[in-house]
A and B are shown apart, each in its own frame.
Chain A
Amino acid sequence: MAKTEQRSRLSRSRTRSAWLFLAPMLVMLLIVAAWPLGRTIWFSFTDASLDLMSEARWVGFRNYLEYVDFGDGEGQYYGLLADPRWWRSVWNTILFAAVSVSFETVFGLIIALVLNQQFRGRAFVRAAVLIPWAIPTIVSAKMWAWMLHDQFGIINDMFMALGMISEPIAWTASPETAMVAVMMVDIWKTTPFMALLILAGLQMVPGDIYEAAKLDGVPAWRVFRRLTLPLIMPAVLVAVVFRALDALRVFDIVYVLTPNTDATRTMSVYARENLFDFDQFAYGSAASTLLFVVIALITITFIMATRMDLEGKRS
């Protein structure tokens, strides 16, 4: 009796200190995440503008969708959900995220497999591979903007010299190639991040099973398909989610490399335009809120579809 009382006192004091240690982090998250998010959602239901933030009035769903009756039996839908430019940026964002993350995963996997081998100078190569990831996005986007420049860019120069193109291409300016250019830069920049996360997964694979496979006479390709890939899949899926979350809110590369084109405008760029450039703060807030909802839906769907092991129960 006395013993259980004592134990429960001990466990109560443990619970108390656990909350004590969690408190600073929770307060911080409330301040930097929950509060701004809550404010954004609130503004999306008001008529706020940049200079009249404090006088914002509740307008319900008007920023999202509103049917305006013209009185003569005609009418039109207004609002974010009726804006083809918004839907174009949703499509751009999803296309960008899907293509870049797919390529980054494949390239990252290949690089990780190479870096996981023993060879002379491996430490140097591992560090070198990370360079694109270490360069600030603004800097690398600007750098690529110059390399992709239609008149002075080295890319056009090289392709011309190799005879692959007959005249210079305006990579970032032409609507057909702008998205490709943005994706290319993003893949170049973020593949190292993928490689690093996948490499961490690869290093968790016990080496002895490869020896067992050697004795079983399993050819290299099947070893990869049947042993390596299933064992690193959890790590790859987590890496893909991280990257997808990042890619779905892409802003900086697009903003620097291809400003103001319908071909590459993403949800984040669209939201910023309305928030600050067009002085439609409430409308931009609505876009930001929808951006949050879209990312959340895609991520949750992906996690459910792949039955991802987020709590580490199966590992």
Chain B
Amino acid sequence: MATVELINVSKSYGNVEVLRDINLSLQKGEFVVFVGPSGCGKSTLLRMIAGLEDISGGDLLIDGKPMNDEMPAKRGIAMVFQSYALYPHMTVFENMSFGLEQAKLDKDEIKARVEKAAEMLQIEGLLDRKPKQLSGGQRQRVAIGRAITRDPRVFLFDEPLSNLDAALRVDTRLEIAGLSQRLPDTTMIYVTHDQVEAMTLADRIVVLNGGVVEQVGTPMELYERPASQFVAGFIGSPRMNFLNGAVAQAHGAECYGIRPEHIALDHENGDWRGRVILTERLGSDTFVHVNVEGIGTVNVRIEGRAEVQAGEAVHLTPDPASIHLFDARGQPVSG
């Protein structure tokens, strides 16, 4: 049964429509990521589910019950904010228990719930501290802990990693993945602009662009069968090469897409001939930027070290099975 259902949901501010025709059905226990560029409406959609923004049109159902006009606290949700939104004057314990006091739970129950959540997130030692005595990562855990104590049916994350440094972001991402495994009945909705977070965390990804859903699917579906040029460009790192002109027209398309990892580089033979402009060495991979005659700049990803230098002449061969073709409107064309 679907936990969260969105039927023809839309949102406008005055005459400006920021979201339209959103239809989604999230299964119980599913981890769904809303991803898209900034301004695509992903955070607004999350806030509408949370009840922090009004729904202009359509219906929101949680566990089959209409929630459009329900108070946020009555929706069975919990939310982790980008800025953590901890109560600065309260200790970690009070931050986690404040919401439970409102729910009129008795003291022992509150204490038990807070301690359980603290244990799950390994913040038992921090319960007497104030938020400003904590590091960014610890604050994030407290924010997650506060959400856990509410024992929600739906867990909402609004770009929870964007205030953390790169190393901590990876650790916390793993922890969130672990958390979702330990709470198998809790549906998680996670908003990010980072496609790596989306690919690594999601059971299903919802790609939003310009207020509409571009594609919904598992990470691999999105990677292998992008439903539009936008999705093809947004999912995958480094970005897919998009080539216009003769090479596309030869396949009867406006745009020819090929991912950097689906191109073979050779010194002797290949379909395309070009000259290396630049190499970027990451250790595990090398990105080789090649200026291909009559086509343009193509980025090639090579595992390990590639023994090529700038200025060297090379040959490239795209994998024919991994070509993506798009028409002038960015819609896929069957090759």
Contact = CB atoms under 8 A, between A and B. Distances in A.
Contacts of A227: 87
B102 A216 contact: yes
A217 B71 contact: yes
A217 B78 CA distance: 11
Contacts, number: 56
Contacts of A209: 85-88
28 contacts: A206-B85, A206-B88, A208-B83, A208-B84, A209-B85, A209-B86, A209-B88, A211-B81, A211-B85, A212-B79, A212-B81, A212-B86, A212-B146, A214-B73, A215-B50, A215-B52, A215-B72, A215-B77, A215-B150, A216-B73, A217-B74, A217-B99, A217-B102, A217-B103, A218-B102, A226-B98, A231-B88, A231-B89
Contact of B85 (A212, A219, A226): A212
Interface in B43-99: 50-52, 71-74, 77-79, 81, 83-89, 98-99
Interface string A209-241: 101101111110010001100110000000000
Contacts of B73: 214-217
Nearest to A226: B98
Contacts of A215: 50-52, 72-73, 77-79, 99, 150
A218 B98 contact: yes
A315 to B, nearest CB: 9
Given A206-B83, A209-B88, A214-B73, 19 more contacts: A206-B85, A208-B84, A208-B85, A211-B52, A212-B87, A215-B72, A215-B73, A215-B77, A215-B79, A215-B150, A216-B73, A216-B98, A217-B72, A217-B99, A217-B102, A218-B98, A218-B99, A222-B102, A227-B87
Contacts of A217: 71-74, 99, 102-103
Contact of A230 (B50, B71, B83, B89): B89
Contacts of B89: 230-231
A216 B99 contact: yes
Contacts of A214: 51-52, 72-73
A231 B87 CA distance: 9
Interface residues of A, number: 16
- Of A208, A209, A211, A212, most buried by chain B (CB within 10 Å of CB) is A212
Contacts of A226: 98
B145 to A, nearest CB: 13
Nearest to B100: A216
A126 B129 CA distance: 38
Nearest to A217: B73
A94 B50 CA distance: 52
A209 B73 CA distance: 14
A227 B146 CA distance: 16
A227 B150 CA distance: 19
A215 to B, nearest CB: 5
Contacts of B52: 211, 214-215
A164 B102 CA distance: 45
Nearest to B84: A208
Nearest to B83: A208
Closest 8 CB pairs of A and B: A217-B73, A216-B99, A208-B85, A212-B85, A217-B102, A230-B89, A215-B72, A214-B72
Interface in A148-189: none
Contacts of A222: 102
Contacts of B86: 209, 212
A7 to B, nearest CB: 30
A227 B87 CA distance: 7
Nearest to A212: B85
Nearest to B156: A215
Nearest to B89: A230
- Of A206, A217, A218, most buried by chain B (CB within 10 Å of CB) is A217
A217 B74 CA distance: 8
A236 to B, nearest CB: 14
B184 to A, nearest CB: 23
B289 to A, nearest CB: 42
Nearest to A219: B102
Nearest to B98: A216
A191 B117 CA distance: 46
Nearest to A214: B72
A226 B97 CA distance: 13
Contacts of A206: 83, 85, 88
Interface string B138-170: 000000001000100000000000000000000
B137 to A, nearest CB: 18
Contacts of A231: 88-89
Nearest to B74: A217
A226 B73 CA distance: 17
Contacts of A218: 98-99, 102
